[in-house]
Structure formats: structure tokens, C-alpha cells
Amino acid sequence: MISGFIFAFTNFNQNLGVGETQPASAIIGIKLLIGLIPAIFIVVGLISLWYYPLDGISKEYKEMKRQVSILHIEKIDRLKEKLSSSKNNK
């Protein structure tokens, strides 16, 4: 979608034959498509990642971590009970 808009805006001619050159505006459009526009998307992505809470400071993260710890402890207790009951049955 973006490339079609850029090509239309810069007068890109897809019907040129071998040896014919694109207008200067089309060459600038191609350079934008392979350089500046991807760089803009990368910068926007980096900015959004910069503000994404991955450090575990949020209350929700701490609560989820606490719940997972409880589930692990319960799982270990069930496993210990299962192992001890299987030893007693032998």
C-alpha cells in the first residue's frame, strides 16, 4: 500500500524497457522505499518497545509472578505426596 502510493506520487513508470531510465522523482521514491521509510518504522518500533513495561515493576506483573510461585509450590507438594504414597504402596 505504501509502495503503491510512493510509486504513484513519484511518477514511477513500470512500462519502461531495457535501457530507459526512470524519472529522477521515481528514483527518489525508490530510495525512500528502501531507506527512509523502513528506518521510520524501525524507530517507531524502538520507541514503542522503550515504553513497554518489561522490567517487572508493574503491580500486575508482581501479582502474576506471586500466583505462579504459589502454583509451583502446590505442584511440588502434590508430586511429593504422589511419590511418598507410591513408596508406601510398595
Looking at residue 9, its pLDDT comes to 92
Q: With 0-12 CB in 10 A as exposed, 13-18 as middle and 19+ as buried, what is 29?
A: buried
Alpha-carbon dihedral of residues 54, 58, 59, 64, nearest 10 degrees? 0
Does one domain contain both 48 and 59? Answer: no
C-beta separation of 12 from 22 below 8 A? yes
Does one domain contain both 15 and 27? Answer: yes
Strand, coil or helix: 24:
helix
Maximum alpha-carbon separation in the chain: 88
Q: Which residues of the chain have pLDDT under 70?
A: 55-56, 90
- What pTM, to 2 d.p., does this model score? 0.53
Does one domain contain both 12 and 35? Answer: yes
Range of the domain at 13: 1-52
Count: domains in the chain: 2
Looking at residue 51, its pLDDT comes to 84
Does one domain contain both 35 and 61? Answer: no
Does one domain contain both 48 and 62? Answer: no
Does one domain contain both 33 and 62? Answer: no
Looking at residue 79, its pLDDT comes to 95
Looking at residue 90, its pLDDT comes to 63
Looking at residue 20, its pLDDT comes to 92
Does one domain contain both 24 and 2? Answer: yes
